[in-house]
Amino acid sequence: MTLLRIALIALAMTSGLAQASSPDAWNEYRQQMVKRCLAASQFKDAHALGKPAEFDDRTAYSALLIEGVYKPKSMKNQTGTELCLYDRAQQQAYVTEWKPGAK
């Protein structure tokens, strides 16, 4: 293999990685994650609390806190918090009630 071919292959490989990690790609990913987490939420008027926590690629998960208003009328418009775990590989969001400090 010539040196030129090796250089072209290396350039093609690194340009794809750089493009996948661009700020625009990260913004698009975060918007998709927030959208799916909010859709999985059990709250009305749900919104993200802060920025997501990004776990490394060994787990391929992101975590996001969501705040909103409980839907049942018996909850009398109380606000609550949920933790969303977003599986980046499967593009699936999973939520559970989050009560910091609760035992």
Whether 54 has a pLDDT exceeding 50, the answer reads yes
pLDDT tens for each residue of 73-85: 998 999 999 999 9
What is the pLDDT, as a whole number, of residue 101?
80
What is the pLDDT, as a whole number, of residue 85?
98
Whether 3 has a pLDDT exceeding 50, the answer reads no
| Amino acid occupying residue 33 | M
- Per DSSP, the chain holds a count of helices (H) and strands (E) of 2, 4
Whether 60 has a pLDDT exceeding 50, the answer reads yes
Mean pLDDT of 28-55: 95
Phi/psi region, residue 87 (left: phi>0; alpha: psi -120 to 50; beta: rest), is beta
- Residues 35, 93: contact at Cβ < 8 Å? no
- Residues 40, 84: contact at Cβ < 8 Å? yes
Place of tokens 């996001």: 64
